[in-house]
Amino acid sequence: MGRDTTRVLGTRQITSARRPSGNRRKPGLQKADVKQKREYGPSSETKLLVLFIILVAVIFTRLVILTIIEAEELAAQSRSQRTTIIETSARRGTIYDRNGNALATSVDATTIYVNPSEVTNPRQTAIELSAILGGSVESYLDIITHSPSPTFAYILLKGEVQLAKLLQDRNEVLRQEFIKTHPEGSALPVVIPTALTGIHYLADSRRIYPYGRIGAQIVGAVDLDGNGVSGLELTYDSILRGVNGVIVVERGKDDTPMVGGVRQRVEPING
């Protein structure tokens, strides 16, 4: 009996000492690996692909908005930034008496306006205007710096032609002074800057009454825009006033008038 017991015990010891054959992992290790993979989530390639798709979708949506939804509005804004619309006055008709004497007539005048975006030194421009046209420097400075339009503001409506000529002559003097002091060998700018750069002129007309106050109540009068407000001027206003014209001027990137930049010109029809 003693030998048999020893053999059995020996067999058990040998059996317990053997290890399972093969490379199978323990269940505990497999669960840990799966859990670790779940913690990592999607791969970096997948994330980059998702980001790329989102970026393309955003760009495509923006293009649709700009080219279809907001296209008309953006085009209108672009046109308004590039163009300036200027109204030119028609010459008002003459009122005669039965003997052919003019009781009310129109004479040549010049309307002066400023493009504030072209003015480099508003105060110096205001000083030059005040010296020739009269009025205070501050009033001209206010017109230039607080204009509702960035490209157009009236300086003088229906002024005397001679006043406009004096301004143009003064501007030429300033241009020549700039040219004389410009370094030799260097190219002159396309638009020579002066204190009167940005001042422009329109041919216009203004109403005069050769007989003054004689018969003034019958002949009547007009307002600053040339519309009849009393007397014959009002009664026959639709015949006398004519139809104003329009000039649409296109400007470049720096807001200077482009060569051939007049996009539209409708000539006035005189009364």
In a domain, 54, yes or no: no
State residue 132's pLDDT score. 92
What's the pLDDT tens digit per position in 121-148?
Answer: 999 999 999 999 988 999 999 999 988 8
State residue 2's pLDDT score. 46
Q: Which residues are CB-contacts of 49 (< 8 A; sequence separation ≥ 6)?
A: none
pTM equals 0.60
User: For the chain, how many helices (H) and strands (E)?
Assistant: 10, 9
In a domain, 14, yes or no: no
Please state the domain count of the chain: 1
State residue 163's pLDDT score. 92
d(CA 210, CA 104): 7
3-state secondary structure of 215: coil
CB-side neighbour CA atoms (13 Å) of 250: 11
State residue 254's pLDDT score. 47
In a domain, 142, yes or no: yes
Per-residue pLDDT of the chain (271 residues; tens, 9 = 90+): 444 444 444 444 444 445 555 555 555 445 555 455 555 556 778 878 888 888 888 888 777 776 776 666 655 555 555 666 777 777 888 888 898 888 888 888 899 999 888 888 999 999 999 999 988 999 999 999 988 888 888 999 888 999 999 999 999 998 888 888 878 777 777 778 888 988 998 888 888 888 888 888 888 888 877 888 888 888 888 888 888 777 776 655 444 544 444 566 777 788 8
d(CA 206, CA 105): 8
**Given its phi and psi angles, is residue 41 left (phi above 0), alpha (psi -120 to 50 degrees) or beta?**
left
Beta bridge partners of 264: 248
């406009």: which residue's tokens?
Answer: 164
State residue 138's pLDDT score. 93
d(CA 173, CA 263): 31
State residue 14's pLDDT score. 44
Query: To 10 degrees, what angle do helices 122-133 and 161-181 make?
Result: 140
In a domain, 24, yes or no: no
State residue 9's pLDDT score. 44
Residue 236 lies in domain: 84-266
d(CA 18, CA 14): 7
Which CATH number covers residue 100? 3.90.1310.10
In a domain, 261, yes or no: yes
State residue 260's pLDDT score. 46
State residue 233's pLDDT score. 84
What's the pLDDT tens digit per position in 30-45?
Answer: 555 545 555 555 677 8
What's the pLDDT tens digit per position in 55-84?
Answer: 888 888 777 776 776 666 655 555 555 666
In a domain, 39, yes or no: no
In a domain, 245, yes or no: yes
d(CA 224, CA 157): 8
In a domain, 38, yes or no: no
Do the beta carbons of residue 74 and residue 63 sit within 8 Å? no
